[in-house]
Chain A
Amino acid sequence: MSSPSPSPTTTPAVPVEPKNYLNCETGVRSWLLTRDHKRIGLMFLACVTAALFLGGLFAMLIRIELLTPDETIMSAQTYNRMFTLHGVVMIFLFMIPAIPSGFGNFVLPMMIGAEDVAFPRLNLASWYIYLAGAAFALWGMVHGGADTGWTFYTPYSTTTFTKVVPILLGAFIIGFSSIATGINFIVTVHTMRGPGLTWNKLPLFVWSIYATSIIQVLATPILGITVLLTAIEHAFGFGIFDPAHGGDPVLFQHMFWFYSHPAVYIMVLPAMAVMSEIVPTFARKNIFGYKAIAYSSVGIALVGFFAWGHHLFTSGQSTFNAGVFGVISMIVGVFTAIKVFNWVGTLYKGRIRFSTPFAYFCGFIYLLVFGGMTGVALATVSLDVHWQDTYFVIAHFHFIMVGATLMAFLAALHYWFPKMFGRTYSEGWGLVAASLIILGFNATFIPQFLLGNAGMPRRYWSYPAEFQALNVASTAGASLLAFGFLTILVYLTIALFYGEKVGRNPWGSRGYEWNSPSPPPKHNFDSPQVFDHPPHDYDSEGHEPEMQTEVHGGTEVHGDDGAKR
């Protein structure tokens, strides 16, 4: 990625542009060997975006194949590989690192007034480990792929002839990247907070990312050992998960979901983190229930570890365990609801500015609530027996996990874009793309809820003809979604080079990261930071920053309603 050069049309007679993190050093070397958390964040963002488009491509191919009940564009074997690759790429290469390693890296140190993360070299190493894992996985995909689904259930994954070993090792390696980032953030939050920034003054983004990091550190090693055992089993046949030698595939599922269920919260907690920043900024109002939101993040992180067994309701797990896990799973809903109520409470009587990030918040809260409620339904054992492994489950987790993460990713991208590059995008196009994405997402997955409830199983290549109408509807929605992403790609690329320049704080946010120039200088701030106000504080009189015109469609927004208050 090159630094955006100042274009002659938008630069007035400013003699010298101050040096920022993008142009203080130039050349490929200065990027590849950087220890600057902002550059590492951007490099992660570039990679996860590439992964998003790759995974999206697989998704489109799956949807096109499912247009007709029989073969449309690919054979059944190719189809099996396609949905596996879609899952692996989207989960390990996009959703897990997207917000923590990308946006978290960029803004978390700035939010606590630090110059960098605690271990900058480990941070860079994390990016290289991610690349190495991705290379392993991609090599496996090119040379045969895997057809097990991203869950790698044994005994099939240990007996299939496809290339599961490199993909498993890829997941193993990427796990270390995740752990490195998690350790880095936990230590950063503990040791590098600016003077006066106590735990109860931390921005909610930091709280949520902190909770995410705890899960990353505690859960990922179990995935590491599980995929390692599976790879060993596939390569040498030690029998640890093989019933023929006394092994139990259910043990694999226990260990796999001990990581992979909390991993859902590795994906969705950062999404909640982003939204907790966006809601007060665009409602122009204090966050409602700061402590409730902060502590519920840690609550989700903790309770998320006690819920893994709800993936095993039909796997031969004991009914006692199923009951216990079912009940605990529902408790996660309580913590999530606490957050939802508090966000809505923040909006109440706010002076809402309907900008692009806020549009994504609307999509997010809708997907979270409906995805969450279907989740509570699925946690009911007797209902799950009907829905297990149908498209109902697919639609459920795409709503709550993918939808929430995607909305937050895009919201964060639009919200922090001015901070990252010092330029802004076209608000009109932003809203058009947001509508396309939200509409497309619903059009894709609402039919899948219906399909699943009618009994269409997941991962099947063909289906009875009466399911075709809903499948076509779903594919049509997916095309809308793809079109929305391409729109975003185009206008953000244009904005990167030709967007209007912005000042320090275009959104008029009270977040600490906006105190630095846009784009920030190498060591983040040009003056010592003072944390004299709580985060998300819009009530104190006098020094409240207002939203700037360049990010709000060029219209004055602090008109009558602002004065009346």
Chain B
Amino acid sequence: MAHNDHAHTHSARPYILTFMWLCFCTVLTYTLAHKDLGAWSFAIAMAIAAAKGLSVILFFMHLYDQPGPSRLTLAIAFFFVLLVITLTLTDVHTRFPLSLPPGSFRSGNVVPPIQ
């Protein structure tokens, strides 16, 4: 029985390593945020966040030893988040500019408040 095997061989070492890795990544992303990396800064920040998230999922949440359906569930969830973001963003990027919202009137923009 896999469950009982777990209890015998259960070791806290992977957790400690994961925790240290997470702390390292946090410090790294914080430090990099204060340097001007231009267009790369967003990609790097997201890559680090993804690495952190992945280690939480795999080791803290034990997805590495879960059966297929659970993995598939999570993969599909992330896929759908990306889907809703991507297809909405292509709309913003390709739209006729005047049909985009002009911004906040509070910041001195031209649009008057709608009564």
Contacts and interface: CB of A to CB of B under 8 A. Distances in A.
A306 B105 CA distance: 35
A320 B96 CA distance: 10
B106 interface: yes
Interface of B: 69, 76-77, 80, 83-84, 87-88, 90-96, 99-106, 111, 113-114
Interface string A223-263: 00000000000000001000111111011001100100000
B104 A218 contact: no
A306 B88 contact: no
Nearest to A190: B69
Contacts of A247: 101
Nearest to B96: A318
A305 interface: yes
A305 B91 contact: no
Given A244-B113, A306-B87, 14 more contacts: A243-B101, A243-B102, A248-B100, A250-B99, A254-B88, A255-B88, A258-B84, A316-B96, A318-B93, A318-B94, A318-B95, A319-B94, A321-B94, A324-B90
Contacts of A254: 84, 87-88, 91
A309 interface: yes
A321 B87 contact: yes
A218 B90 contact: no
Contacts, number: 68
Interface size class of A (residues with CB under 8 A): 20 to 34
A264 to B, nearest CB: 17
Nearest to A323: B94
18 contacts: A243-B111, A243-B114, A244-B105, A245-B105, A246-B102, A246-B103, A248-B100, A248-B101, A250-B91, A254-B91, A306-B83, A309-B87, A309-B91, A316-B95, A318-B90, A318-B96, A319-B94, A321-B90
B87 to A, nearest CB: 7
A244 B69 contact: no
B99 A316 contact: yes
A162 interface: no
Interface of A: 155, 190, 218, 222, 239, 243-248, 250-251, 254-255, 258, 305-306, 308-309, 316-321, 324-325
A317 B96 CA distance: 8
Contacts of A305: 80, 83
A413 B76 CA distance: 34
Contacts of B87: 254, 306, 308-309, 321, 324-325
B80 A218 contact: yes
A29 to B, nearest CB: 36
A244 B114 contact: yes
A239 B88 CA distance: 19
Contact of B76 (A218, A306, A325): A218
A320 B113 CA distance: 31
A239 B105 CA distance: 12
Contacts of B99: 250, 316
Contacts of B101: 243, 246-248
Residue among B88, B102, B111 with the highest chain A CB neighbour number at 10 A: B88
Given A243-B101, A243-B102, A246-B101, A317 B80 contact: no
A250 B89 CA distance: 12
Residue among B80, B91, B102, B105 with the highest chain A CB neighbour number at 10 A: B91
A251 B87 CA distance: 11
